[in-house]
Chains A and B, each alone.
Chain A
């Protein structure tokens, strides 16, 4: 059963003479799932990093096991699931054979026993883990397909090219939320995996926090009931799509994920949906028309796995010589443009810091502080304050801290793409 999808467009459709770039924020809100409705089919694969480093310290593996057991407990009856052991190869932890089994009291108990018995050994090859998960999901089309991937280290036992190749093969087949535990993993690497797999990314600096996080991820995945949602974008002849990004709840660039679907139309995967709301930023370059002309810069539709249209929206362009109209700034577009800039400033600032370019690092992180202050990103501002000493938060005058905890730096980097809704005027 399909919920209700509502699409809202926020844009200033008025462009000055000669302008070509059309920006719009599309808010997609799904409602109508919930208690009254039977849950749709779901499939869940938990990938547990069992490389040798998980033994150092021993608590890491113990907490990972505890988290995995919590996730198994959160699976409702009937959900098809499996647990995978990630090393330099991928092996089944539960069940023994390469398949999914339906969750019930006895399979959940068996799975938890198998998880408890696992030993850490070997290396890290994330591509192999994803490939096994992908095989497990075969034959479950129409189900909400979700994986959790936990790792504590770099992808050392396969080449980046191989990981890229596998990501290309499997992305779009299932959603994978990624968690880095400790501080020995690579933020950029895991962010690539999470982004390509349309999942979230976070750091779990303290392994003790894992169980609650796993339970929450599993519960969220169980709340999804419309699988394989796609955003179809029609643009007129001669138009160029500069980008299509998810901008809320986190920044995910979908531009390169386009699959051509019809004349002048392409589909972008949005994975599974529950009762939730997400925002997308579309930036389309059109051929400027004459003042007074009105055109459709984009036709947006949302489709489910069976090509049923769930909702529609229009992105317009009207050229005018009335500057009072064309200079209006749409608050949603401005807000998310600012968020993208904030994330970029943090990521570039941290990269410069790592490479010893103090000047660039200070400038970028200072800009990030100013943006976070201006836009009310208190959480981000707090994380920034652990990396730089702030002299003036408004102008972004900062000094790099001499000593920065690895976990603080990684947390700031990891969470730079977490976004925040536009505050409604007068609202809370």
Chain B
């Protein structure tokens, strides 16, 4: 058995490759986000920036690596874009592949994906969403590598860790916060957990598609309480979050649900920057099926590219993040 990165011989019992240090039980996106290469100034195309971070020619701020973050781990891919109307990308994502007790280069045991959307009313919302996603992904990947893996319990633990990390950012005058949605996908099951209005969808190849999450927004609460959708939407605070991850949150237990689809498909996680343009299950389903291939047969990177492009073409009013995981997971041919 050899390390998939350096080719050194590794023992199946080892957690790390002794030659190159690769974690043999998992592979994941870098902590801090898969930052994009952002070299050229968006104002003038120049590449000379002052120590204060502004272009020496045209004054535009140095583009951030967070403006467009891309991850492609083969079994899962994600894309997060600043959009066209916001000055920062406050969405974050983290994803990874767990290889179980046998380790790499064996078959993958689970794929983990997390999307968090920073609440824009707080400074450092981008830090909040990134630490939440990174912490949660860590917990989920660690748990998924164990033989007695319980995805629902791990999801609750992951959210608790996200809370802890975000709470550390609290200062006297502000309490950064974010939404949370995660998916743990194995060969047989899909477990999603969420707090807030970031969503998870099941898009079946042949089976019917389904929205797996319900938004934690005031409007959803009102509708659940029996108020008509029209009246609920007219409520001035309709789109305000009812639940979130942050030091100032009251309810901290995530919604968790597990399903076992009887056929193939793809799990799509996204921030409201996507679903604001595709608000219904039907519209999102149709957008994925605009490509003639069965959803699970498309590469996930191709799928997220297409959905993010659609959000940007529709105006890109908000940050937009999409992560896709084909189901059931393949055998872990990571690159």
Contacts and interface: CB of A to CB of B under 8 A. Distances in A.
- A and B bound? yes
A236 B54 CA distance: 10
B84 A235 contact: no
Contact of B85 (A291, A296, A297): A291
Contacts of B54: 295-296, 299
Given A289-B43, A314-B52, A297 B59 contact: yes
Given A236-B57, A296-B61, A291 B44 contact: no
Contacts, number: 58
Contacts of B60: 236, 289, 293-296
Contacts of A238: 58
Given A293-B42, A296-B52, A236 B58 contact: yes
Contact of B61 (A286, A291, A295): A295
B122 interface: no
A278 B52 CA distance: 25
A293 B60 CA distance: 8
A286 B85 contact: no
B83 interface: yes
Given A237-B44, A318-B87, A295 B82 contact: no
A239 interface: yes
A296 B59 contact: yes
Interface in B79-109: 82-87
Contacts of A290: 84-85
Contacts of B87: 292-294, 318, 320
Interface string A224-261: 00000000000111110000000000000000000000
A321 interface: yes
B55 interface: yes
B85 A235 contact: no
Interface of B (DSSP majority class):
loop
Contacts of A293: 42-43, 60-61, 87
A318 B54 CA distance: 13
Interface residues of B, number: 19
Contacts of A239: 59
B86 A292 contact: yes
Contacts of A295: 43, 54-55, 58-61
Contact of A292 (B44, B58, B85): B85
Contacts of B317: 321
Interface in A276-296: 286-287, 289-296
B43 to A, nearest CB: 7
B84 A299 contact: no
Contacts of B55: 236, 295-296
A296 to B, nearest CB: 4
B59 A292 contact: no
Given A236-B55, A237-B57, A239-B59, A292 B82 contact: yes
Interface in B9-63: 42-44, 50, 52, 54-55, 57-61
A237 B60 CA distance: 10
A237 B41 CA distance: 13
A286 to B, nearest CB: 7
A390 B224 CA distance: 64
A21 to B, nearest CB: 15
Nearest to B53: A296
Contacts of A320: 85, 87
A301 to B, nearest CB: 11
Contacts of B85: 290-292, 320-321
Contacts of B58: 236-238, 287, 295
Contacts of B83: 292
A287 B83 CA distance: 21
Contacts of B86: 292
A286 B82 contact: no
A160 to B, nearest CB: 40
A299 B54 CA distance: 10
A293 B61 CA distance: 8
A166 to B, nearest CB: 38
Contacts of A287: 58
A297 B61 CA distance: 10
B311 to A, nearest CB: 14
A420 B60 CA distance: 35
Contacts of A235: 59
Contacts of B50: 299
Nearest to A297: B59
Interface string A22-60: 000000000000000000000000000000000000000
A320 B44 CA distance: 20
A239 B58 CA distance: 9
A236 B84 contact: no
Contacts of B82: 292
A321 B42 CA distance: 19
Interface in A286-333: 286-287, 289-297, 299, 314, 318, 320-321
A287 B42 CA distance: 13
A311 B84 CA distance: 35
A102 to B, nearest CB: 45
B120 to A, nearest CB: 9
Contacts of B43: 236, 289, 293, 295
Nearest to A317: B59
Interface in A330-360: none
Interface of A: 235-239, 286-287, 289-297, 299, 314, 318, 320-321
Given A236-B55, A287-B58, 19 more contacts: A236-B60, A237-B44, A238-B58, A286-B59, A289-B60, A290-B84, A290-B85, A291-B85, A292-B82, A292-B84, A292-B85, A292-B86, A295-B55, A295-B58, A299-B54, A314-B52, A320-B87, A321-B85, A321-B317
15 contacts: A236-B43, A236-B55, A236-B57, A236-B59, A237-B59, A286-B59, A289-B43, A290-B85, A292-B84, A292-B85, A295-B54, A295-B59, A296-B61, A299-B52, A318-B87
Minimum-distance CB pairs A-B, first 6: A236-B59, A296-B54, A296-B59, A295-B59, A294-B61, A291-B85
Interface of B: 42-44, 50, 52, 54-55, 57-61, 82-87, 317
